[in-house]
Structure 1
Amino acid sequence: MTSTTPPLPSLFLSHGSPMTALEPGEAGAFWQRLGPALDAAFGRPRAILAISAHSLTREPVLLAAPRHEAVHDFGGFPSALYQLRYDTPGAPELAQQAQALLAQAGIPAHRLAQGGLDHGIWTPLRWMFPQADVPVLPLAYVPTHSPAEQFALGQALAPLAAEGVLVLGTGSITHNLRLLGRLHGTPRSGDAELPESAAFRGWMHERATARDWPALFDYRAQAPHAALMHPTDEHLLPWHAAAGAGGRQAVPLRLHASVTFGALGMDAYAFGPGAARLAAQLQAPTASAM
């Protein structure tokens, strides 16, 4: 990055079904453009700090292994999915730095020399950076902490953006698997979106654009159909962590919006002063042609 380039934005990606690793769909096509757009706008990230809905602990834990392998943490899918690999370098030195930043914010975090990327991490990264050459540092988070506490977690990590570290939250903008296939009995990727899903996604976009942080922190009480769209919090809380890494001042930007199976939202957001630069790069002819 040059001195005039803003810090990397933080990102929230709805990772969707593990099958997006084989059948990318609309969101996967977006991820394929997102990686090159990041490279063009900011240069290749020196590392990715990933906060996933599928890595949950009682206290924050940084997985500081020197190397990671894809973890196939799901069942009942075609055998071809279990043959996929996505092995990346780890980021032990970044783990020390992140642990120190969290400690400065009064957030105790453990650091373990263990590895593995859950599917919420490696599925989008497989399309963003197919060469698997960007070091990854998973941060397992506490799902019982509130949205405001997740935002504070992200705020503590915000200085990393100026050093070329991409803070990535991955979960799902809507996530109630019992709703999938409600119309036909069997989930279909092209099912029309349920009105409740559309209302919730629209509320999130509206409140984010307004930077209405009190409402976003209190989404379970204020958002339409919140408990239906998120029976539990863990798939939305990485949104708040990524938002915290971007800060309160810049307007969060929705970079992508789509839905699969009628109720599994695939929206993606960018946060922080670099978000507008990334959005512009995604709209550039060179990015759209990739």
Structure 2
Amino acid sequence: MTAATLLPTYFLSHGGGPWPWMRDETGTAYDALDASLKDIPGQIGGKPKAVLAVTAHWEGPDFLLSSSSSPGMIYDYGGFPPHTYQIRYGAPGLPELAARAQALLREAGFGAQLDAERGFDHGTFSALYPVFPEADVPVVQLSLKAGLAPLEHLRAGRALAPLRTQGVLIVGSGLSYHNLRAFNARGAEASHAFDGWLRAAMALPPRERTAALMAWESAPAARQAHPREEHLLPLMVALGAAEEEPASVVYHEDDFFGALAVSSFRFGA
């Protein structure tokens, strides 16, 4: 992979908690998601120089970027087996990428700060472990911005687009359905309605697609699928960084957790 390669961007439905380390407990429930994530290196032609991971599990008054060269771990989940609180995903950070992303965001008029203390949360390490299990690709995390405005996150993606030609894989990690109070058969109707709309929106021409996603709250069952939109906003960053390029469904299930419809998308070839 050369530095001038134009990498695609991704929105990944990252699954629940530390699932890659719970295969004995979950059986085959995550097989399709696991396979879709393992396929990413083949899609992009190898390993990127680094990953910029937009995580649904971090918010700040400005955009925040993890800037440690050796990030720690954040076990931001509860009720899981003891061994999942000992997980280590040892990917290095890349302070120079954090600084470059900060500069691009500031040039676009955003406040952007570096955070040398932030470790990897499960939205990052659970999504990236199947992709790069050797943890040998540097990772910088990007937070969401308080207020959760879709347009601000779209604009942030636009600002970060130059990183795609510098060997940086931009990944938005969230979940296309995220209503934890109905994460079972009670959420089936809403998840299928919203996911169907979302996949149809992805097939629209670029300008219509952007307009549809900026107005996502008017989609069928939108607030049933996302009572709070933090797990959808990483999609807006991934879209903004590849706004004129086609979208592809790279993962879809109709019976996630036995009933739910969930999807992941790639923008670009």
TM > 0.5 between the two?
A: yes
1:171 aligns with 2:174: yes
Partner of 1:17: 16
Q: Any unmatched runs of 5+ in structure 1?
A: 184-192, 277-290
| CA separation of 1:264 and 1:138: change in aligned 2, threshold 3 A | farther
SS of 1:253's equivalent in the other structure is strand
Partner of 2:229: 233
How many angstroms apart in 2 are the aligned matches of 1:203 and 1:143?
26
Higher strand share: 2
Moved over 6 A (4+): none
| CA separation of 1:44 and 1:96: change in aligned 2, threshold 3 A | same
Partner of 1:251: 246
- Aligned-residue RMSD, C-alpha: 1.8
What is the CA deviation profile of residues 98-126 of structure 1, one whole-angstrom value per residue up to 9, with x for unaligned ones? 11111111112011222311000000111
State which drifts further: 169-178 or 107-116: 107-116
8 A contact 1:67–1:115 mirrored in 2: no
SS of 1:18's equivalent in the other structure is coil
- Alignment of structure 1 residues 86-97 onto 2, 5 Å: 86-97=89-100
- Alignment of structure 1 residues 174-213 onto 2, 5 Å: 174-182=177-185, 194-210=188-204, 211=206, 212-213=209-210
How many angstroms apart in 2 are the aligned matches of 1:180 and 1:89?
33
SS of 1:234's equivalent in the other structure is helix
State the identity %: 38
Q: Which amino acid aligns with 2:216?
A: Y
Partner of 1:37: 42
8 A contact 1:143–1:237 mirrored in 2: no
8 A contact 2:71–2:118 mirrored in 1: yes
1:134 aligns with 2:131: no
How many angstroms apart in 1 are the aligned matches of 2:39 and 2:250?
11
SS of 1:231's equivalent in the other structure is coil
Q: Which amino acid aligns with 1:87?
A: G
State which drifts further: 253-262 or 57-66: 253-262
8 A contact 2:177–2:261 mirrored in 1: yes
8 A contact 2:174–2:231 mirrored in 1: yes
How many angstroms apart in 2 are the aligned matches of 1:58 and 1:244?
20
TM-score (norm: length of structure 1)? 0.84
Q: Any unmatched runs of 5+ in structure 2?
A: 24-29
Q: How many residues were matched structurally?
A: 258
TM-score (norm: length of structure 2)? 0.90
CA drift at 1:227: 0.6
CA drift at 1:82: 1.8
What is the CA deviation profile of residues 222-268 of structure 1, one whole-angstrom value per residue up to 9, with x for unaligned ones? x1000100001100010011110112x21211111124225654411
1:63 aligns with 2:57: no
